[in-house]
Amino acid sequence: GENVEQHPSTLSVQEGDSAVIKCTYSDSASNYFPWYKQELGKRPQLIIDIRSNVGEKKDQRIAVTLNKTAKHFSLHITETQPEDSAVYFCAASPWLNTNAGKSTFGDGTTLTVKP
Amino acid sequence: EPEVTQTPSHQVTQMGQEVILRCVPISNHLYFYWYRQILGQKVEFLVSFYNNEISEKSEIFDDQFSVERPDGSNFTLKIRSTKLEDSAMYFCASRGGGLNEQFFGPGTRLTVL
């Protein structure tokens, strides 16, 4: 089955710096790669996603890159702000129309942005 | 904007008791999921459901667990005889077709005493 590894487990940056979180996956059938932000006691909130036919996607201060050959994808947050502090999860999913599939999550990265 | 809803938000039960966690997925979605998250840990897949049957289930989803979609709107997770280690946040999710995102519900915090 799918195995997703996420690094680092904790990340502390100064406000205004960039943050990068990396994930690798094992199953070449995975074709959808979301990133979630989770605050304490809340549901995972999708912040950006990328599909297997795309190499990079950007949304304001957030970007994601995907290297299908190497089976890794990364989250980049620029100009970090204290409100970016949260736990971030990557996931890999083999979405098919004939099967519901599943998402396999990484272990999470606790991001702390110091003012 | 449509949302996945879950009830109750918090359930406290005694070990050995049965619990039913309820979810109302987004109305036109086709694919349904249950995940759990033990405090401080990652989100773990339990089961997925499509076309009125289970698509996939994890090792966690043993004979004590079952899912149902009894009508056109609800999606339930039943744990027959709860154990202390079942204490976790349980998230329901639903998805439309294609390579599209899952929408997560707010979760049910299950505490087994």
* CA-to-CA separations, A79 to A7, A15, A74, B57, B99, in angstroms, rounded: 20, 7, 17, 40, 30
**Residue contact A99–B56, C-beta within 8 A:** yes
Residue position matching structure tokens 């619990």 = B19
**What are the residues whose beta carbons fall under 8 Å from the beta carbon of B52, sequence distance 6 or more?**
B69
> What confidence score (pLDDT) does residue B99 get?
73
Render each residue's pLDDT in chain A as its tens digit; 115 residues. 899 999 999 999 999 999 999 999 999 999 999 999 999 999 999 999 999 888 999 999 999 999 999 999 999 999 999 999 999 999 999 987 778 889 999 999 999 999 9
CA dist A26 and A68 (Å) reads: 10
B97 touches chain A (CB under 8 A): yes
Dihedral of CA atoms B23, B28, B33, B38 in degrees, nearest 10, equals -50
**Residue contact B107–A43, C-beta within 8 A:** yes
Q: How confident is the model at residue B72 (pLDDT cuts 50, 70, 90)?
A: confident
Per the structure block, which two tokens stand in for A88?
């971030």
In terms of Cβ atoms closer than 10 Å to its own Cβ (0-12, 13-18, 19+), residue B83 is: exposed
B26 touches chain A (CB under 8 A): no
What percent of chain B is modeled with pLDDT above 90? 85
Residue numbers of B between 29 and 88 with CB closer than 8 Å to A: 30-33, 35, 41-45, 48-50, 55-56, 58
**Residue contact A31–B99, C-beta within 8 A:** yes
User: Residue B100: pLDDT above 90?
Assistant: no
